[in-house]
Chains A and B, each alone.
Chain A
């Protein structure tokens, strides 16, 4: 009787341990699950593919907008980032070219990723970047300085309430970035 009980206890023990393992796996499974849910629902979508240039924009007249440029670096990182002009008077629908200078102040090769941010945030959907150093991770040799062109167009359908847009880049370190030796 006692040994039968022992066997029953061990069977239940094994089932419960299996449940423990499953739930531990579930915690890790939440990582891809979260990504899929965010993709399906469109949450967290930073990059949205543009539709073909709409014709509705063509009817709207170009109008002047102030474009302010800024940059920041996460504390403790060896980057120096600055726009060559900090304020531009531009027009919607116009191709705008501007330049950023990035410098690696450290003695190591570093890999960085710039993330653009817009103020006001609603303006983000109307600024179409054609060329940007933020499209990929950038590898910098020790002490290297490089200038990057940024080409963008501000959509003519920009709401009338927005007459000034600030474009700010944050540069993050990519510890295991591409191109690291």
Chain B
């Protein structure tokens, strides 16, 4: 359902200044910026933890960290990157761009939006604080498997509370996205016309609403096992630690797509812009995204092939997992078909989008390899898995986020980023990402287990290559930071339409986007993927 006009928006010209603007922020652009900056800070924190891990693994033996602390580093690196960096970054982008792309005046629930952001810093503070409590931070891996998570010290309790808060935050953010997309589209912006980024955000938001409560349930059971005498996961009391894995991965697998689908959405906006062609197969993109969302609920036990499942169950989860490669393949095909015979140019957002397609496909293929139960029994818990999910999360989610930030930076700030630095950032990241993570495939195939601070001597060379790559990759992210900071104040003034091929609704707004946009909804004539054919009305301010 779309609206005809939301004339009576209260506080139209209200714009608080100083710290109030941010603490009491209800404007979707302010909240989006908060999310993005917060996510970037957490990306740096999680990155430093990763560099600690790689420093320890540069040589066999124990150099810098004892095994207990090392396990805390791997656990917190995972939790911070997933819940502190990638998910908030996508929510932030959705906050910033969705109302502009579908012609809404703001997000549906402005004050709830404020809450969903401001719950994040305390949650992350709890997580980081857990490093200094007796017993240290949670050390059971980001999956927090029982019985280890039941036995750990109070750092685990802080982690459980942090996850509860993060869950509430992301559920509120997701509800806002769903209501905004369903109810606040401008007239003419039909569901089967709206941009793929909106579709991806919508399906992601539904996944968050469906599975974050399941994670909350799982960690609550761990909490009651720890302190209130229940035995959900304690074999001696009649419980079952395998049950934890089922509950966790019922959340965990859709979570994988929560971090991947918005990336698909971004790439589906960027590729058509720089190929100067409409997105190939828009309808099939929508159905592919939806079916990935549905299938993600049916494959969770492929993370558990070594738990002694019956062969029938292994086969079911194996085939269901392989089935996901079909809609994903449709998407990759469509992106390539969009570029086919396009009039392409290779600005930074396009480079990151193409890098995404290339590397995400590699990660997808190693995923199909892992889905074969007989192969997974060998590779389970090895560095092959680490290589696989970093290909889909770093080269997938993170590259798409860089692409999005470069793509929309002119619209957000009114200034252009420095193209040369952007290109350097891309090529640097592409090179060192592969130097870091490609050798991990070989390490995994050779049998190196993940989450260990020390390893057998024959793994030394590949680990050294990976460690050098990781430090160089980390260094390269400072190029991005410098570029953004410099361009915010000194960048060239951006045109209203900085990209020739940008023809979705956000490029119809003045640059930078006015603080209050579409306070009167425009009348739109929209083609597929949100391409605006004609627009009437639509006031800002």
Please report A residues at the B interface, Cβ cutoff 8 Å.
1-2, 5, 8-9, 12-13, 16-17, 19-21, 23-24, 26-28, 30-31, 34, 38, 41, 43-44, 74, 113, 115, 172-176
Residues in B whose Cβ lies below 8 Å from that of A12: 178-179, 182-183
Q: Is the interface of A mostly helix, strand, loop or mixed?
A: helix
Query: Once the chains bind, are B217 and A24 in contact (CB under 8 Å)?
Result: yes
Task: Name the residue of chain A whose CB is nearest to the CB of B215.
Answer: A27
Given contacts A2-B9, A9-B108, list 15 more A-B pairs with CB under 8 A: A1-B3, A1-B7, A8-B1, A8-B183, A9-B179, A12-B178, A13-B179, A16-B209, A19-B210, A23-B209, A27-B250, A30-B246, A34-B243, A115-B236, A172-B235
Residues in A whose Cβ lies below 8 Å from that of B9: 2
Query: Once the chains bind, are A1 and B217 in contact (CB under 8 Å)?
Result: no
Q: How far is the CA of A113 from the CA of B237 in the complex (A)?
A: 9
Query: Once the chains bind, are B6 and A5 in contact (CB under 8 Å)?
Result: yes
Residues in A whose Cβ lies below 8 Å from that of B250: 27, 30
B376 to chain A, nearest CB (A): 19
B364 to chain A, nearest CB (A): 27
Residues in A whose Cβ lies below 8 Å from that of B5: 1
Please report B residues at the A interface, Cβ cutoff 8 Å.
1, 3-9, 108-109, 171, 175, 178-179, 182-184, 209-218, 221, 229, 232, 235-237, 240, 243, 246-247, 250, 310
Residues in B whose Cβ lies below 8 Å from that of A41: 310
Residues in A whose Cβ lies below 8 Å from that of B8: 1-2
Query: Once the chains bind, are A5 and B213 in contact (CB under 8 Å)?
Result: no
25 A–B contacts from the bound complex (CB under 8 Å): A1-B6, A2-B7, A5-B6, A8-B1, A9-B108, A9-B109, A12-B182, A13-B109, A13-B175, A13-B179, A16-B209, A19-B209, A20-B209, A27-B214, A27-B217, A27-B221, A27-B247, A28-B217, A30-B217, A34-B243, A44-B240, A74-B236, A115-B236, A172-B235, A173-B236
Given contact pairs A8-B1, A9-B108, A9-B179, A20 touches B213 in the complex (Cβ within 8 A): yes
Task: Name the residue of chain B whose CB is nearest to the CB of A38.
Answer: B240
Given contact pairs A1-B4, A12-B183, A31 touches B232 in the complex (Cβ within 8 A): yes
Query: Once the chains bind, are B171 and A174 in contact (CB under 8 Å)?
Result: no
Task: Name the residue of chain B whose CB is nearest to the CB of A5.
Answer: B3
Query: Once the chains bind, are B214 and A26 in contact (CB under 8 Å)?
Result: yes
Q: How far is the CA of A174 from the CA of B1 in the complex (A)?
A: 57
Q: Which of A5, A23, A113, A175 contacts B210 (CB under 8 A)?
A: A23
Residues in A whose Cβ lies below 8 Å from that of B243: 30-31, 34
Task: Name the residue of chain A whose CB is nearest to the CB of B174.
Answer: A16
Residues in B whose Cβ lies below 8 Å from that of A34: 240, 243, 246
A61 to chain B, nearest CB (A): 35
Residues in B whose Cβ lies below 8 Å from that of A23: 209-211, 213-214
Residues in B whose Cβ lies below 8 Å from that of A74: 236
Query: Once the chains bind, are A27 and B236 in contact (CB under 8 Å)?
Result: no
A138 to chain B, nearest CB (A): 13
Residues in B whose Cβ lies below 8 Å from that of A26: 213-214, 217
